[in-house]
Structure 1
Amino acid sequence: MPPLSKLQGKNVIITGASVGIGEEMAYICAKHGANIVIASRRTKLLEKVASECKIISPNQRIKIVTCDLKHEEGCEYLLNSSVNYFNEINNKKPEIDMLILNHAMSLFEHMDFNNPALMIEKLRDIMMANLIGFATLSHLAIPHMISKKGEEFKSIIVLSSIISMISLGMSWAYSTSKAAVNSYFVSLNEELEYQGLQNQIKITLCYLGSINTITMRNNTDKYFPKWLIDHVVVNAEETAKIILQSGLNGQKELWYPSYGVLFRYAYGIFPGIMRKLGFLIQKHLMTN
């Protein structure tokens, strides 16, 4: 893995940066000298993250952008604000070096067959944020990431989930959106190669497991014993470091924790057993 010192002077956009992994990535980027734009729907939390970044690195540049990336207008606002900001602080290097697509809407509940309109509305909202938001931002950013010959490649880091491979009924909307994200960015990677841009822009697709974040704990602690979750989850700061190093390295996939890739192959080889296991987990959740 490359050293995080390679972040020095890079122009970085982090979505979903108000909490969790996005927040941790902002702190790491600030510590190692990156110029940062952090984005979220929650201004107060962004301001708190920006203040912490200033404590970590008082002279480091950071800009907050409050936006809803479920809408195209929000995506356009974030990209335009970021490009203008990077141009303002260094007009000799206004391009985007790293786009981190981290924001997400989640849903952890069973389908209500008596209210199909509500179910479709929830699915639409999650797909707009998790898939269309990611796709829109990447397409808007790519023209600002195409580097000149001989320059270092630019990175698009995409946060997905192991649950995109192993869907549970209760995660129906979230896992559907993340599975679509996987397919989309694999296709985008191939399109970059087809157009001869594979050495200029590299996409890192991150399949993440149980990371110790507030959002994750809100969904799990009410269903499972706390001691069990404490032993399963991995540290958010360490996860953020590995994600950034993977992006700097230009690798196509990251499975973290590494046991996730075992679930992937187990689901492919023993689909019936894995689905039965998922069903038993859901039954436990419903009972509790």
Structure 2
Amino acid sequence: MNRLKGKNVIITGASGGIGAEIAQQCAEKGANLVLLARSKDKLDTLKRELENRYSIQVKVYQLDVANKVRVEQVFKDIFARLGHVDVLVNNAGFGIFREAHAVQLDEIQAMFDVNVIGLMACTLMVLPHMRKRKSGHIINIASQAGKLATPKSSVYSATKHAVLGFSNSLRMELADFHVYVTTVNPGPIATNFFQIADEQGTYVKNVQKIMLDPKYVAEKIVAAMLTPTREINLPRWMNAGSVIYALFPRAFERIGKRFFDRK
């Protein structure tokens, strides 16, 4: 897979989980990396590891994507240093699983600021350059929750619905510019995401057997880079559930309620 060799790849939320796994696998393919996350210490550690193992350049920036001013500053510096970006992976995001009546407004604001506005802000920074070059790939990490809402994830699902809507429109806008837009819709992944999302540990306990390996998810994402892949849906059987839900929502909600309530 030589198409990533020498390419410039930006990954948000790169300090752990699938972000770090994507960085690792891109480095193996010879891509130069720009890693963004709130934890600078973790990014510095990952940078040293990757540069010691591979003949690539890795740049790191401390960034909370909810900080729009900082997003603009960081991306201006990236373009000043690299000249262009080939792939942007919008991976930064988090969730809090609570029933709607128990969610605080500041938690709602925070989820939308990171999962939606932050993703859009980073995307807007690369769009003019990719359109001008008529080349590039934007990969947005959404979720099966963006297709199939469940109890206790009303706000998180709403943010991922927004990501899918934004991505689907963007894909059509960029089609004539040869810029690809891919959404990644995974089910639960075995990462530290659930330390925040599932404080009680109930959800993790109930779905532990079907949780995805972050390395496997990253493999699928990296394999799709710079190809016209519309969506990556993992696992496939879960995506089949979202298709059935779209066709028969009332029956699906009635039959699936007992399972969903275990969350």
TM-score (norm 1): 0.83
TM-superposition CA deviations, 1:160-190 (whole Å, max 9, x none): 0001111123111111000011001111112
Q: 1:222 aligns with which of 181, 197, 201?
A: 201
> How far apart are 1:145 and its partner, in Å?
1.7
| 1:75 pairs with 2:71 | yes
Gaps of 5+ in 2: none
Alpha carbons of structure 1 residues 40 and 191: separation in structure 2 relative to 1, 3 Å: same
Aligned to 2:108: 123
2:140 pairs with 1:158: yes
C-alpha deviation, 1:26, in angstroms: 0.7
Structure 1 residues 27-176: aligned runs within 5 Å: 27-57=24-54, 59-86=55-82, 94-112=83-101, 119-146=104-131, 148=133, 153-176=135-158
Flag the structure with larger Rg.
1
Which letter maps to 2:86?
Answer: D
**210-219 or 137-146, larger mean C-alpha shift:** 210-219
Between 1:274-283 and 1:139-148, the stretch displaced more is 274-283
| Residues 232-284 of structure 1 deviation map (CA, whole Å, 9 limit, x = unaligned) | 01221121111122232221111122223201211012212332355324533
Q: Give SS of 2:98's match.
A: coil
Per-residue deviation, residues 44-80 of structure 1 (Å, max 9, x unmatched): 12122212212331x3200110011112112212211
What root-mean-square deviation, in Å, do the aligned CA atoms of Structure 1 and Structure 2 show? 2.2
Q: Report the secondary structure of 2:152's partner residue.
A: helix
Q: Is the 8 A contact 1:208 1:255 kept in 2?
A: yes
2:226 aligned counterpart, secondary structure? helix
Runs of 4+ aligned residues of structure 1 deviating over 6 Å after TM superposition are none
Following superposition of structure 1 onto structure 2, how do residues 177-192 of structure 1 map, counting pairs within 5 Å?
177-192=159-174
For 1:282 and 1:260, locate their aligned partners in 2 and report how far apart those are by CA, in whole Å: 13
Structure 1 unaligned residues grouped into runs of 5+: 87-93
Identity over aligned pairs, percent? 25
Shift of 1:219: 4.5
Number of equivalences: 262
Q: 1:33 to 1:147 in 2, by over 3 A?
A: farther
Residue 207 of structure 1 corresponds to 185
1:8 match: 5
Correspondence for 1:89 = none
Normalization by structure 2: what TM-score?
0.91
After superposing the two structures, state which structure 1 stretch, 269-278 or 206-215, moved more: 269-278
**SS at 1:169 equivalent:** coil
Is the 1:105–1:126 Cα contact (8 Å) retained in structure 2?
yes
For residues 121 and 219 of structure 1, the distance between their equivalents in structure 2, rounded to whole angstroms, comes to 15
2:22 is matched with which residue?
Answer: 25
- The one-character-per-residue Cα deviations of 1:2-24 (angstroms, maximum 9, x if unpaired) are x2x32110011000001100000
Q: 1:278 to 1:69 in 2, by over 3 A?
A: farther
Amino acid at match of 2:202: Y
Q: Is the 8 A contact 2:203 2:262 kept in 1?
A: no
**SS in structure 1 at match of 2:109:** helix
